[in-house]
């Protein structure tokens, strides 16, 4: 039951963020204190934040409704959030200093990674 709730919450979060990023990538990035530049900045934000987030949301949704998709959804979340957490740590080691408000994203990504790993370890198909 916990895994379905976890995947449901992530699906809603990813889908909402993906839609927002597709419709208004400049406003989305500005809310995080990130400025999109260059001729491809908006286009790239739509693809990465919009498209990938929508894909993640759909995969998490599939995990909620299709038991055979639970494990692939959890593996995706583990690798996706693991990549973010790894890159955040590498950034800190390199001397990057995120704003205090941006640390909220780091906390979200870390919590999602931990919960996905724990869920993978605990998951027993019904």
User: For 5-36, how does the pLDDT look when each residue is reduced to its tens digit (9 = 90+)?
Assistant: 999 999 999 999 999 999 999 998 888 888 88
User: For 40-61, how does the pLDDT look when each residue is reduced to its tens digit (9 = 90+)?
Assistant: 889 999 998 999 999 999 999 9
Over pLDDT 70: what percentage of the chain?
100
Could you give the CA distance from residue 82 to residue 32 in angstroms, rounded to a whole number?
A: 20
Could you give the CA distance from residue 29 to residue 49 in angstroms, rounded to a whole number?
A: 9
Burial class (CB in 10 A: 0-12, 13-18, 19+), 126: exposed
Whole-prediction pTM value?
Answer: 0.88
User: For 77-93, how does the pLDDT look when each residue is reduced to its tens digit (9 = 90+)?
Assistant: 999 999 999 999 999 89
Could you give the CA distance from residue 116 to residue 76 in angstroms, rounded to a whole number?
A: 9
Q: What is the pLDDT of residue 65?
A: 96
Asked if 110 and 85 touch (Cβ cutoff 8 Å), the reply is yes
Is the pLDDT at 126 greater than 90? The verdict is no
């Amino acid at each position: 039951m916990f895994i379905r709730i976890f995947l449901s919450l992530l699906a809603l979060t990813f889908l909402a963020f993906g839609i927002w990023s597709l419709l208004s990538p400049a406003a989305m990035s500005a809310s995080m204190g990130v400025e999109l530049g260059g001729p491809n900045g908006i286009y790239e934000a739509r693809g990465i934040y919009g498209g990938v987030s929508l894909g993640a949301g759909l995969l998490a949704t599939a995990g909620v409704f299709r038991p055979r998709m639970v494990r692939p959804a959890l593996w995706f979340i583990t690798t996706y959030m693991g990549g973010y957490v790894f890159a955040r740590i590498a950034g800190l080691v390199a001397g990057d200093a995120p704003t205090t408000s941006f640390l909220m994203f780091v906390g979200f990504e870390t919590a999602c990674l931990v919960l996905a790993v724990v869920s993978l370890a605990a998951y027993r198909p019904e």
